[in-house]
Amino acid sequence: MEIELYSSKVFENIKHIEDGVEYWRARELQNVLDYKLWQNFHNVIKSAMSACQTSNYEVSEHFIDINKVLIVGNGASQNIVDYKLSRYACYLIAMNGDPRKKVIALAQTYFAIQTRKQELLESSYKELSEEEKRLLLRDKTKKGNYNINRAAINSGVKNLSKFHNAGYRGLYNGETADDIFKRKKLRYREDILDNMGSEELADNLFRIVQTESKLKNDNIDGEKNSCDAHYKVGKIVRSAIKKSGGTMPEDLPSPKKSLKEFDNTKKTSIR
């Protein structure tokens, strides 16, 4: 259990999400896997690419070249090789890594388990009950909020409540978290996310993921700019819902029961 928690924390912390797609950067994975020299790690990547090709997968889809040129102190340019890696690419890298490194074993376990989890979720999501979908999406929003909080703090946000309200206001046509709480007629200390249906949770998850990506990719700095970005992403998600003919989140019905009323065992059973 200790190994599972450690591996999850290490590899989740360097995961990126862009347009709803997760990926890892090779240079960041190099550090986590304890490779001091890029050349040595690049050799592992090349072996993983060969394994990918042998398995009849498109290498360019799993190992995306994001080389960049840096200007060093004397004005000369230096080419920095890097890749965006899919979960499968990371798994192949772990399988081709130095087996003497304990962290390699952790990586093999983590990426193998996560790949299998994703396969199961994609194939069985439609078969889940509404309550099970809510539990699954609520778990994802918890993880998403943890990640977006880190990104916001790194961008200079001090008041996280103000930051989150900016996103809600964009998505809910001006409503803050407190407004949503009152509209749903919740009891003291009840969580608004625990009282959303699967569709409303999915709307918020999309907002959360896209905002985290924007903060990181656009290098947004300062609390005001971060709040503005969150508000704009909320508005964009709202606009997308409208254009697709969907129901505005504030018009979606609230479930009769909070997720807190369901047994935690149900949550474990759908992971």
Summarised one tens digit per residue, pLDDT across range 174-211 is 999 999 999 999 998 899 999 999 999 999 999 998 89
In DSSP terms, 23 is beta-bridged to: 16
Report d(CA 40, CA 220) in Å as an integer.
Answer: 34
pLDDT on residue 21: 82
Q: Work out the pLDDT band at 115, boundaries 50, 70, 90.
A: low
The answer to whether 196 and 258 are in contact (CB under 8 A) is no
In DSSP terms, 15 is beta-bridged to: 24
Rg (CA), the chain: 21
Q: Work out the pLDDT band at 55, boundaries 50, 70, 90.
A: confident
Q: Does residue 146 surpass a pLDDT of 70?
A: yes
- Give the residue from 127, 98, 123 showing the smallest Cα distance to 34: 98
Which token pair is 28? Answer: 């960041």
The answer to whether 107 and 7 are in contact (CB under 8 A) is yes
Q: What's the mean per-residue pLDDT of the chain?
A: 86
Report d(CA 176, CA 182) in Å as an integer.
Answer: 10
Summarised one tens digit per residue, pLDDT across range 227-242 is 999 999 999 999 989 8
Report d(CA 40, CA 44) in Å as an integer.
Answer: 7
Q: Does residue 269 surpass a pLDDT of 70?
A: no
Phi, psi of 220, rounded to the nearest 5 degrees: -70, 135
Q: What sign does the dihedral 181-184-187-193 (CA atoms) show?
A: negative
- Top pLDDT among 252 and 265 is at 252
Roughly how many angstroms between the first and final C-alpha of the chain, as a whole number? 16
pLDDT on residue 136: 87
* Segment 115-129 mean pLDDT: 68
Q: Does the pTM exceed 0.75?
A: no
79-83, 166-170, 231-235: segment of lowest average pLDDT: 79-83
CA 33 to chain centre: 21
- Report CA dihedral (50, 56, 58, 63) to the nearest 10 degrees: -30
Q: Residue with structure tokens 């890594």?
A: 97
Report d(CA 64, CA 179) in Å as an integer.
Answer: 43
Find all residues with CB under 8 Å of 60, minimum gap 6, and list them.
none
Summarised one tens digit per residue, pLDDT across range 4-36 is 444 567 888 899 988 778 899 999 999 999 999
Q: Which of the residue ranges 107-111, 130-134, 267-271 has the most confident prediction, judged by mean pLDDT?
A: 130-134
pLDDT on residue 108: 82
Summarised one tens digit per residue, pLDDT across range 243-258 is 888 899 999 999 999 9
- Give the residue from 134, 139, 147 showing the smallest Cα distance to 208: 147
Q: Which amino acid is at 87?
A: R
